[in-house]
């Protein structure tokens, strides 16, 4: 269809493509979705009502959003918050504090961050950042002074909630939950976590103060809905600048969904994991193949993307090894087979290799020992072998016990695909015992 277009059109066409790509990439990277999240209406409503009550009635609440990684917890929360903040008087009233267990690794940092986000630090100059104890007292004082009807409600969002439970004494959690259970400043404590057993992490008095509201996001959708999501994710919105382009694009996506091979790819992907993040990765790879000369996603793009996604990383590494290194790997495979997974050291591998050279090999040179050691170390660096932990760490390099991090199937696959692999090496690999 691009052939029919004039030169000027082609330019705008290119612009359209880059614009569409930018829009979709943003969607995939920032986990933004058009419209409401799919299939979680009840959870959405629960959370929205809960936050509304905090914002409007000043009711304190605490809730945990639990779901596996990539199930859309943050997406749901952001969606709810955006919806909430559209209401004007809510927007004026609600304060937000965002914490992440990976960033605020202890309570001291968390408290500073809370103070900063509540803009309380300028009230007292630098004093508040004196000692941890002062900081805590300061913040508690601040929260205590508020009351249900007159203070602005504060929404605490604790991402990676389970990590906060590992803080000393769970002081922060205790205090946040305690505030939420007493007539102080209204707060809503929202924890996001992927651990299903998160409640067991809480100390009993902390647990007692938590309201036990849990919103589970378990991505319970079927493949049909998955296809819908796929279509929704790739579709351009109605208000895209070039309507004709958008229509064409969307039409193409529609036909893509009906394609048999595409469906297969998606089915395989769906089987392996339901999370949105891996789907986004797949789509991103497919999208990046779109150019001016290749203006739409074709089934082959998806196939290629899927191939990239499901590639075995170690098999790829094996393809890049030298024949000597491959020989060492095979020697190690035999050792593992013989000793049933027991660790071995370089000397044993070297002996095995020597045996092979002397008895069977016609094409492989007999390398000097230092050269073999070098190859062995390279394998170590590639993390195809892993030294054993424990007392053997200090022993001489040749006698250090290591384990092979490759499965037999991986080695055999790699050998099949290895370019110009000497046949005697192949034979050696397939033979039962060295």
* Binders of another protein in range 97-156 (CB under 8 A): 107, 118, 120, 123-125, 127, 131-133, 136-138, 140-143, 145-146, 148-154
Tell whether residue 37 is a contact of another protein (CB under 8 A): no
Q: Do 393 and 400 contact (CB within 8 A), yes or no?
A: yes
- Which of helix, strand or coil describes residue 124? coil
Cβ-proximal residues to 282 (8 Å cutoff; 6+ apart), any chain:
269, 302, 305, 306, 309
* Cβ-based neighbours of 396, under 8 Å, separated by 6 or more: none
Comparing CB distances to another protein, the nearer of 246 and 406 is 406
Helix, strand, or coil here: 263?
helix
Of 217, 223, 200, the closest CA to residue 69 belongs to: 217
**Quick one: 17 or 335, whose CB is closer to another protein?**
335
User: What's the half-sphere exposure (Cβ side, CA atoms, 13 Å) at 269?
Assistant: 25
Nearer to another protein, 1 or 311 (CB): 311
Considering only residues 392 to 431 of the shown chain, the ones binding another protein according to CB under 8 A are 403, 405-407, 409-410
Task: State the nearest-atom distance from the C-beta of 24 to another protein, in Å.
Answer: 24
Is 341 or 370 the residue whose CB approaches another protein more closely? 341
Cα dist. 22→17, 82, 284, 295, 409 in Å?
Answer: 8, 22, 11, 14, 41
Given the rule CB under 8 A, which of 10-18, 23-31, 183-191, 229-237 is the region that contacts another protein? 183-191
Residues 222-261 close enough to bind another protein by CB under 8 A: none
Instruction: Between 15 and 160, name the residue whose CB sits nearer to another protein.
Output: 160
Residues near another protein (CB under 8 A), total: 93
Q: Which of these segments, 10-18, 196-204, 232-240, 361-369, binds another protein (CB under 8 A)?
A: 196-204
Among 44, 73, 167, 209, binds another protein (CB under 8 A): 209
Cβ proximity to another protein, 118 vs 257, nearer residue? 118
Torsion, Cα 368 372 375 376, to 10 degrees, reads: -160
The stretches of 259-322 forming alpha helices (DSSP H) are: 260-272, 276-287, 299-309, 313-319
Residues 311-350 as x/- pattern, contact with another protein by CB under 8 A: xxxxx-------------------------x---------
Q: Which stretch binds another protein (CB under 8 A): 23-31, 55-63, 251-259, 346-354?
A: 55-63
**306 binding another protein? (CB under 8 A):** no
Q: How far apart are the first and last CA of the chain?
A: 61
Backbone angles phi, psi at 404, to 5 degrees: -85, 135
Footprint (CB under 8 A) of another protein, residues 372-391: 383, 386
**Closer CB to another protein, residue 126 or residue 239?**
126
């Amino acid at each position: 269809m691009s052939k029919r277009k004039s030169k000027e059109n082609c330019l705008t066409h290119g612009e359209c493509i880059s614009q569409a790509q930018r829009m979709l990439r943003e969607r995939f990277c920032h986990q933004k979705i058009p419209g409401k999240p799919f299939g979680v209406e009840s959870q959405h409503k629960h959370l929205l009502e809960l936050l509304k009550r905090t914002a409007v009635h000043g009711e304190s609440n605490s809730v945990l959003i639990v779901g596996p990684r990539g199930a859309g917890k943050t997406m749901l929360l952001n969606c709810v918050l955006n919806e909430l903040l559209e209401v004007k008087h809510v927007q004026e009233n609600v304060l937000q504090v965002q914490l992440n267990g990976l960033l605020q690794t202890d309570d001291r940092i968390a408290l500073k961050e809370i103070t900063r986000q509540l803009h309380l630090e300028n009230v007292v100059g630098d004093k508040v950042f004196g000692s941890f104890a002062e900081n805590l007292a300061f913040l508690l004082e601040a929260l205590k002074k508020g009351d249900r009807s007159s203070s602005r409600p504060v929404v605490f969002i604790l991402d990676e909630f389970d990590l906060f439970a590992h803080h000393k004494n769970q002081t922060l959690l205790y205090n946040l939950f305690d505030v939420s259970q007493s007539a102080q400043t209204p707060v809503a404590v929202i924890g996001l976590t992927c651990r299903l057993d998160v409640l067991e992490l809480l100390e009993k008095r902390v647990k007692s103060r938590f309201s036990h509201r849990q919103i589970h996001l378990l991505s319970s959708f079927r493949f049909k809905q998955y296809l819908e999501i796929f279509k929704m994710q790739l579709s351009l919105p109605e208000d895209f600048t070039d309507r004709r382009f958008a229509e064409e694009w969307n039409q193409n996506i529609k036909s893509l969904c009906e394609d048999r091979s595409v469906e297969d790819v998606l089915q395989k992907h769906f089987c392996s994991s339901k999370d949105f993040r891996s789907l986004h990765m797949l789509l991103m790879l497919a999208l990046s193949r779109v150019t001016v000369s290749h203006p739409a996603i074709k089934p082959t793009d998806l196939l290629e993307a899927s191939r990239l996604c499901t590639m075995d990383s170690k098999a790829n590494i094996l393809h890049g090894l030298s024949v000597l290194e491959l020989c060492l790997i095979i020697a190690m495979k035999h050792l593992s087979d013989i000793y049933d997974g027991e660790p071995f050291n370089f000397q044993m591998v070297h002996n095995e290799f020597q045996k092979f050279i002397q008895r069977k090999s016609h094409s492989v040179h007999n390398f000097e020992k230092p050269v073999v050691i070098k190859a062995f170390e390279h394998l170590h660096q590639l993390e195809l072998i892993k030294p054993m932990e424990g007392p053997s760490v200090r022993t001489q390099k040749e006698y250090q016990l290591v384990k092979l991090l490759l499965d037999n199937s991986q080695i055999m696959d790699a050998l099949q695909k290895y370019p110009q692999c000497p046949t005697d090496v192949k034979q050696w690999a397939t033979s039962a015992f060295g």
